[in-house]
Structure 1
Amino acid sequence: MTVTINDVAQAAGVSKGAVSYALNGQPGVSQETRDRILRVAKELGWTPNLRAKGLSSSKAYALGLVVARDPLLLGTDPFFPAFIAGIETALAEHEYALVLSVATAPGAEERCYRKLVDNGRVDGFILTDVRHDDSRIALMLELKLPAVTLNRPDAASPFPAVSVEESEGIVAAVEHLMELGHSRIAHVGGAQEYIHGRSRRQAWEDALRGAGLQPDLFAAADFTAAGGVAATADLLRRPDRPTAIVYANDLMATAGQSYAQSMGLSVPGDLSITGYDNAEFTKYLNPPLTTLATDPMLWGRASAQLMLNQLAAPRGVEDITLPSPRLIVRASTGPVPATPTEPLRSS
């Protein structure tokens, strides 16, 4: 049975009001009485009723996460389950909950944010997939709720951010390929409206230009497996087709590697491939994928903790910068082919 404040009051021999003062850290009872009430509450196994607490404090004790991507991506891209698990781990320690909404229809994303606020279901939001000139920053200000962004937006934002220096990882992947003799190094990028899609492409371009090479082998995709296949097919049909491809995530890299092999190419004999995220399955591919190790669960924990810090003390909350991705070299990268490569013909 649920232990109530009334149960604690009867066992401690005090009024319900005294129990409320003690459990909420408010003045009104002596220290001796407070200690007795807290001891009795612990012995009885009393836990706070967040619903009742929320009604009395106008708090929802929940954070919102609105994902504006195909729902299938949440199951196929390993980043999201690990990221959400990280959020949940941090929130559970503070008896908060996560309210997740998936919005894909036109206009559905903004409606989700407004509905969650109008219904009083969340105390703040974690904003993923931050975009160029992101309209959600102004929306959060209008809704008067705090937020945390994944990566610092390219427009003015009053909200703290959890960021990672992604360029160092991409540069490390490009330099690794150049050390193997590659000069025609392509990039399959994520959606370019996303800040992280742009930053990974920019890092690839800067690394090539720094070595005196032209970054002219780019193919845009959308972080999905299908997008990775289409972009890979495009690159491999070009007259100057690449001998190596740097992908913006592991899902596209895995799909691209499979496509190249299905077209008769050897990986890494004819084509070297690198990914991004170090998803668990990448070490079991044939060949295992060279990739950049990140920690999506840490991203989730840090984002949730930063949001909780902001709710507890709105002023003076600082950004969090996570460690840069680390290059993990496996068998999907090798020396540049000794003979010139020919463009693939459409199948």
Structure 2
Amino acid sequence: MTETDPPASPARPRRVTLRQVAELAGVSTATVSYVLSGRRGGSGVSAETTDRVRAAASQLEYLPNQAARAVRTGRTGVVLLSLHMLADPWSQSVIDAVVPAVRDAGGTALVLADSDWGTALDRVQADVAFIDGVRPEQAPLVRKLARHRSLVVFSETLEPDGFDVVRSEDLPGCRVAMAHLLASHRRIGSLTSVGSGGHRNIRHGVWVQAMRDAGLPHDDSLVAEFRESSSSAFKAATDLLSRPNRPTAVYATTDFAAIAAVEAAQRLRLDVPGDLAVIGVGNASQTELVSPSVSSVGPRDLFPALATLLTRRAAGDDGPGELHEFTWELFARESTTGTTDQ
């Protein structure tokens, strides 16, 4: 080698094989394959043997060949999550419940960062995919994709048709939220999201109807609009709470907007719930973790149930699609408890 010759590239390390793990553990390659696949029960493999295999795999830094496993078993171990808005505490609650459950079952959860789930499902070989917020016009695409892969869809309109549907109707819960505020307040603001066409969230209509039914005049100064981001919600809440004759309570059409309203109130030195009551929609787990905790309406135990459903489907439960319904209820927390109108 001359001084001008480039240094030789280091040899690529050879992949550790199942046979090498088996030799170190003193068992057959079939036993190693069974233990490292994550399957449970029915094999006659003792706990001591299982521990020995895993210790050998760890010592050799064995990495499974997922492509080969997919060819052999027809399964990839991948669960795909398509979530409408990653910054939403509801989406984070899905992630917090599903990712550990999939990991414990020996799989991998992939979170899709945009809403183009149709393209993603053509490119990613997932054992099961969860799609949040399917629009009615997308139903034919869902049915087409469900012929070739397992799907779980969050929808208030679709019926199971070769795929699972998780349904949790929000408007009855929104009415409960407004009734909770109207028990103590009359000047209630609506912090509502608006879509790309400028249309207010359908949940805002519950505020309109509830105020009308309570005999309260419509006052557009009690309404603040935001786009679907926490920063936009914070800005809208700050504007709403800075207006003359501000509301004494806020009905937010999402949980992340309710959390933003609490943060805006604290920035303006308003006490929650003493000066301002706040309630959100969705019962995301984050509403319990902030201070003060935020009241919300939503389904109980939806997130762990979804995690169980996805891991079951990913493990090979190919039964017919089912409808999984969750009823909404009130979760009264610190942001509304013990408040009265001023």
TM-score under structure 1 length normalisation: 0.66
The equivalent of 2:141 in structure 1 is 139
Structure 1 portions without partners, runs of 5+: 25-30, 104-108, 338-347
Note if 1:45 corresponds to 2:64.
no
**Residue-by-residue CA offset, 1:199-239 (whole Å, 9 max, x unaligned):** 64354445445545567654442453322234335645878
Aligned match for 2:279, one of 274, 277, 282: 274
Aligned match for 1:175, one of 173, 179, 185: 179
The equivalent of 1:324 in structure 2 is 328
Aligned-residue CA RMSD in angstroms? Answer: 4.5
Q: 1:21 to 1:100 in 2, by over 3 A?
A: closer
Letter in 1 for 2:325: T
Equivalent residues in 2 for 1:166-315, closer than 5 Å: 166-180=170-184, 182-191=185-194, 198=201, 200-213=203-216, 217=220, 218-232=223-237, 235=240, 242-260=247-265, 268=273, 271-276=276-281, 277=283, 285=291, 288-292=292-296, 298-310=301-313, 312-315=316-319
Letter in 1 for 2:165: A
SS at the partner of 1:125? strand
SS at the partner of 2:328? coil
**Residue-by-residue CA offset, 1:234-284 (whole Å, 9 max, x unaligned):** 645878864421113343224334445655766556543223436557676
Q: Is the 8 A contact 2:224 2:239 kept in 1?
A: yes
CA distance in structure 2 between the partners assigned to 1:41 and 1:262 by the alignment: 59
Q: 1:5 to 1:264 in 2, by over 3 A?
A: closer
CA distance in structure 2 between the partners assigned to 1:11 and 1:231 by the alignment: 65
**Residue-by-residue CA offset, 1:170-215 (whole Å, 9 max, x unaligned):** 33332222221x233232124558xxx9564354445445545567
Q: Is the 8 A contact 1:134 1:155 kept in 2?
A: no
Letter in 2 for 1:178: L
The equivalent of 1:163 in structure 2 is 167
Note if 1:54 corresponds to 2:65.
no
Aligned match for 1:102, one of 101, 113, 129: 113
Q: How far has the Cα of 1:325 moved from its partner?
A: 3.9
Letter in 2 for 1:64: L
SS at the partner of 1:275? strand
TM-score under structure 2 length normalisation: 0.66
Structure 2 portions without partners, runs of 5+: 1-14, 58-62
Q: 1:145 to 1:295 in 2, by over 3 A?
A: same
Q: Give the share of equivalent positions with the same residue, in percent.
A: 20
Q: Across the two proteins, how many residue pairs are aligned to each other?
A: 303
